[in-house]
Structure 1
Amino acid sequence: MFINQKIKETFLIIGTNLGDRPAHLQQAIAQIEENVGKILHRSSVYETEPWGITDQPSFYNQVLKVATTLNPLQLLTATLAIEKEMGRVRAERYGARIIDIDILFFDDLVINTGELTIPHPRITERNFVLAPLAEIAPHLVHPVLHQTISEIWSAGNDQLGVKKIASNER
């Protein structure tokens, strides 16, 4: 029997700064499509200076808009499993990594538990999130701040460099 599950929209950011960065992004995208849901839209790829620990290679980052039937905790479990399968080792906060997948938004939900915070609490502080997010969802309204991503991006004060290196074309 088929159960009609409600489709929800989530925004994810994927990032990598080790090894073959373009290949890692593509592998993460394939895993997300297989285990999370259909990718509706993807930003260009941006090269960004490392945030937090600056003595490491630059990151490639990309934001994905995904349609999913998962609930937020299932989504967290799925993204952590993808990271683990791809070889992510959580040794140092803000350290170098093969892949990082963060949940930025999940519909217009606001969640703040020990396991999960949505919207991601540091969206407004990070150009590497705001630049690709503003590219694909400039009119998305932050459910806590009640501002559009475009407005948040314009008011941002992160000084780290962000450079578009690849278009969002498949």
Structure 2
Amino acid sequence: MLAYIGLGSNLNHPKKQIKNALIALNSTKDVKVVSLSSLYQSKPIDNSKQPDYINAMCQVDTYLTALELLYICQDIEIKQHRVREKKWSARTIDLDIIIYGVQVIASKQLIVPHPQMMNRAFVLVPLAELEPHLKVPVLGAIQDLIAKLDISKLVKL
């Protein structure tokens, strides 16, 4: 199964945090990182006073179920000292399953496609870099989703 995982960090050397998360993902049994977008810099979603984020998107090939992949992502976050104090707070690493094949999943643990992806340039632009003609399940063409957003503040590094 091909899946897309969004990575973000704004604490403790964000580029290094993303690199370490990618290494951990690729070292996981039944997960192979296939491709990686460029890094992008973005402002915090809530415009709070915290450092800018560094974001990327990776494509993985996996034999894991979506929930198993979620648990791997959460384990990597814990190992990289992710603290969940409040929504949209600063973080060492954030791993979100954005798309899992063509599946649509709505459970207490996981919603795929990611429920906020259509509102986030830092998700859509790196995703389109990897798959410019992607049709997102339920949501449609990636380019149409990007056209609805202001991407002017997203900085490709």
TM-score, normalised to structure 2, is 0.95
1:23-63 CA-to-partner distances (Å, cap 9, x unmatched) read 11110000010126111111000011111252110000000
Residue 125 (structure 1) aligns with = 119
Q: What is the one-letter code of the residue matched to 1:154?
A: A
Matched, 1:68 2:68: no
Quote how far apart the aligned CAs of 1:155 are: 2.1
Matched, 1:89 2:83: yes
1:111-155 CA-to-partner distances (Å, cap 9, x unmatched) read 01111100000011011111111111121111112x211121112
Q: 2-side partners of 1:10 and 1:103: how far apart? A: 7
Alignment RMSD (CA, Å):
1.3
Gaps of 5+ in 1: 1-7, 166-170
Q: 2-side partners of 1:162 and 1:112: how far apart? A: 29
Q: 1-side partners of 2:47 and 2:25: how far apart? A: 27
**Bigger Cα displacement from structure 2, 49-58 vs 91-100:** 49-58
Residue 141 (structure 2) aligns with = 148
Q: 1-side partners of 2:63 and 2:118: how far apart? A: 27
Residue 80 (structure 1) aligns with = 74
Which residues of 2 match residues 48-67 of structure 1 at below 5 A? 48-67=42-61
Q: What is the one-letter code of the residue matched to 2:113?
A: P
Matched, 1:162 2:154: yes
Q: Flag the structure with larger Rg.
A: 1
| Equivalent in 19, 22, 39 of residue 15 of structure 2 | 22
Q: 2-side partners of 1:53 and 1:120: how far apart? A: 21
Q: Detail structure 1 runs of 4+ shifted over 2 Å in the superposition.
A: none
Q: What is the one-letter code of the residue matched to 2:25?
A: I
Counting matched residue pairs gives 156
Q: 2-side partners of 1:83 and 1:160: how far apart? A: 29
* Native 8 Å contact 1:37 1:67 kept in 2: yes
Gaps of 5+ in 2: none
Sequence identity (%): 33
Quote how far apart the aligned CAs of 1:159 are: 6.2
Q: 2-side partners of 1:104 and 1:159: how far apart? A: 19
TM-score, normalised to structure 1, is 0.88
